[in-house]
Structure 1
Amino acid sequence: MPSVATHAQAVHAAIEAMGGTVLVARALVQGGRQVDLEGLDRDATALCAAVLALRPEEGRLLRPALESLLHQVNDLAAEVARR
């Protein structure tokens, strides 16, 4: 069984990876491409479950990264809505 620190690090890496995916999706939308966000929704659900599995103090440490991801997702949603 992985340690809490290892799990928290894995969750943080998943947050960063999702941020990268959102940035790519936004660039594609800005370039006039259509993107399917279903996979992103599924990944976000899994990410939320992983965050909830953390101890509260570990989860609080991830708050800035999660807030940044939320802003990126909101920017993507706004970009999609403009198209």
Structure 2
Amino acid sequence: MTQGPGAEPLTLPILTAIQSMQGTVTLARILAQGGRQIDLAGLDAEAARLCTAVALLPAFAARPLRPALEALVAEVEGLAAALPSPPAEA
């Protein structure tokens, strides 16, 4: 994985935040699969912050984050599949 000069200091905090969010989403998925109610209110704001942080990076610095972001997306999709469907409107 080739990075430009100074990429790691730019991406390390963002990578840490991505991995932290993935852990949170994994836990939420496990709880949802177990039938527990979960509050997802904070995830939207955190996802928006991560997206903004990645978008502000130069391309050479953002590129190495792709695998972590793809893993996060996969976990979010797993969480979405584990959530109960909303009741149909009459």
TM-score after normalising by structure 1: 0.88
User: 2:3: which partner in 1?
Assistant: none
Structure number, greater radius of gyration: 2
Q: Which has the higher helix share?
A: 1
> Mind listing any 5+ residue stretches in structure 2 that lack a counterpart?
1-5
Supply the distance in 1 between the matched residues of 2:60 and 2:74 (Cα, whole angstroms).
Answer: 22
2:74 pairs with one of 62, 71, 76:
71
Return the alpha-carbon distance in structure 2 between the equivalents of residues 6 and 82 of structure 1.
Answer: 41
Deviation at 1:28, TM superposition (A): 0.9
Match of 2:20 in 1: 17
Amino acid across the alignment from 2:35: G
How many residues align? The count is: 81
**1:34 aligns to what?**
37
* Contact 1:26 1:76 (C-alpha < 8 Å) held by counterparts: yes
Indicate the RMSD between aligned Cα atoms, in angstroms.
1.6
- Structure 2 contact 14–50 (Cα < 8 Å) conserved: yes
